[in-house]
Chain A
Amino acid sequence: MSSPTSATAVMVPRRRRRARRLRAALPFLGPALVAYVVFVLYPMVESIRLSFFEWSGFVGAEQTFVGMRNYVRLFTQDTVFWTALGNSVIWVALSLAVPMLLSLAFAVALDRKLPGRALFRTVFYVPGVLATIAVANIWRWIYNPRYGVSESLAQTLGLEWLQGIQWLGDADIALYAIFGAFVWQAVGTNMVLFLAGLQSVPPELKEAAALDGAGAWQRFRNVTLPSLRPTMVVVVVLTFIGSIKVFDLIVGMTGGGPAQQTQVLALWSYQLSFANNQYGMGNAVATVLLILVIAVVVPYMLWTARREQS
């Protein structure tokens, strides 16, 4: 049946066949390429270019080339940038620890045939589908210093030490209070990924280990965890991407305050460009963010490409 097509294909020289394939592909690829280049790729490259300029962002205002000056200013004079960088690093590190471990524990627990486990899964997953900005509002209310959870607990149980805690107003705890909301939202998604990964653990292996007398922890450590490694890599990368770009939650809960102490890179870049009209500085922060992402993500992409080939 297929012989006529393959016969002509053999007769056409390779180069022309390639050109023909490209021409055949273009109608399908064209719309995506246009949308991607105009709205994603070009702005990304443009933000790198703008990071070497001084510009207010207003149409008609002059763009002055200043070389590395924005970066020098950022690293030597801008204390908020250092706070934002530090907070972003803390945020990524915490995200790779707390929600990861919790979601793994939830997944392992709900992989067993517990009564009502479908309902439990739903309960843990639901915060993940809510808009982050709505989550921010829900948690602002929980953290309300006068009517929130801690104050109500303090009144109901007479716990004086809980009284008057400024969860979002105290520079020492605000970032971690916001992180609590992040954990609530992030655990369900990772849990579903881990649950999917747990399906790939060969049950024979677990049974064999149980027959050999391995305890629950040993079975987990020596059978389950190694089989979860591919899932683990995916969750780590997704968690990294999700946490380095944290923006909505901070905007919704503190706006970077108090006194810029919950500032993060994505938000500081936005505020420099749009609130301070310092496009050069804002895009320099964006470029730093881009470099951080590339440093982690490109090795990962190369690794998956190699894995797919083998």
Chain B
Amino acid sequence: MTQSVAGSRAGVTPTARTGRRHPDRPHTVVRWRSVLLWLVVLATAVLWMLPLAFALLTSVKSEADILGTSLFTLPTSLDWENYVEAIQTGNLLQAARNSLMIALIKVPAGLLISAAAAFALARIRFRYSGIVLAVIAFGAMVPVQVAIAPLFQVMLALDLLNNPLALVLPYIGFGLPYQVFILYGFFRQIPAELDESAMLDGAPNRRLFFQIILPLSKPALAALFILDFVATWNEFGIALVLLQRQESWTIPLAVQGFQSKFTTSYGPINAFTLMSVIPVLVIYLMFQRYFVQGAFAGAVKG
């Protein structure tokens, strides 16, 4: 080991000597490496922002600018026409209303149902609760497309096709597995002594759930709420099959519909796409820490 230390010092000296102004040689090397790393990260970050930057740039260019100049040139003048055109021809507002309504109902309702199920599995624990948990958790790993054709038949039989509100039902079903799994892990970590104090009252489980377990789980619930809102807003595969009339479309369907209808209206397409992501961007920037927490919960609990 001592040898390798000597070796690495020896290897380092020549580079350090070039930076003469700093007398402490190893530090200089470390600093130069940090600067280099920082530059690489910066360059990568700039590269990562380019796709959105191109979309933004194109969305404010006139058609003449888009077709006549290169992608990198700045617009001759800011042109908001694309946004107006996108809103007017793309049914953006109606799709946003549908998406918002679905998310505002689905996310709280789904979370409550998931939390109740996780509570039953984690705190009441009955005979086959382990198996029930495994069967539910399994659903988190199965692609929607495995079940989509029969799901269409189920919704057809219930007369719920082309009904944005009814989309909430399968969304709750497909959202359950992950949430139950995460909340199960969270509830299990709450000390059991808390149960006993609640048990002394008349309706022990209901009280325990609403007055002790739920309030104690606020961080996990908040993280799941935000993650689920974004996931619901972005969902495409199920909506594509169940909502076929334009007036029932959600935002992702409207984005896809606009793109395939006005293939070469590059300005409006980019404007439409950008407007469709603004809500999730705002939510992400406002609640950034919950995304990290949610990811962390997933990483720890597996």
A contacts, CB < 8 Å to B: 1-2, 5, 18, 21-22, 24-29, 31-33, 35-36, 38-44, 46-47, 50, 57, 59, 106, 109-110, 112, 114-115, 119-120, 122-127, 129-134, 136-142, 144, 147-149, 151-152, 155-156, 184, 189, 192-193, 195-197, 212-213, 215, 230-231, 233-234, 237-238, 241, 244-245, 247-248, 251-252, 265-267, 269-270, 273-274, 279, 282-283, 286-287, 289-290, 293, 297-298, 301, 304-305
Contacts and interface: CB of A to CB of B under 8 A. Distances in A.
Contacts of B66: 147
B150 A42 contact: yes
B154 interface: yes
Contacts of B146: 44, 47, 269, 286-287, 289-290, 293
B139 A24 contact: no
B280 A31 contact: no
Interface in B221-275: 230, 233-234, 236-237, 240-241, 251-252, 255-256, 259, 266, 269-270, 272-273
B230 A129 contact: yes
A22 B126 contact: yes
Contacts of B113: 31-32, 35
A248 B199 contact: no
Given A114-B37, A286-B147, 9 more contacts: A21-B127, A35-B113, A43-B154, A44-B146, A125-B284, A241-B140, A266-B145, A266-B237, A293-B146
Interface residues of B, number: 106
Secondary structure call for the A interface: helix
Interface string B134-177: 11111111111111111111101000000000000110111011
Contacts of A110: 41
Contacts of A26: 120
A57 B149 contact: yes
Contact of B38 (A114, A134, A136, A283): A114
Contacts of B256: 133, 136, 251-252
A131 B135 contact: no
Contacts of B58: 141
Contacts, number: 307
Contacts of A230: 299, 302
Contacts of A40: 139, 142, 147, 170, 173-174, 176-177
Interface of B: 1-2, 4-5, 8, 34, 37-38, 40-42, 44-45, 48-49, 51-52, 54-55, 58, 66-67, 70-72, 113-114, 116-117, 119-121, 124-127, 129, 132, 134-154, 156, 169-170, 172-174, 176-177, 180, 196-197, 199-200, 205, 209, 230, 233-234, 236-237, 240-241, 251-252, 255-256, 259, 266, 269-270, 272-273, 276-277, 280-281, 284-285, 288, 291-292, 295-296, 298-300, 302
B302 A137 contact: no
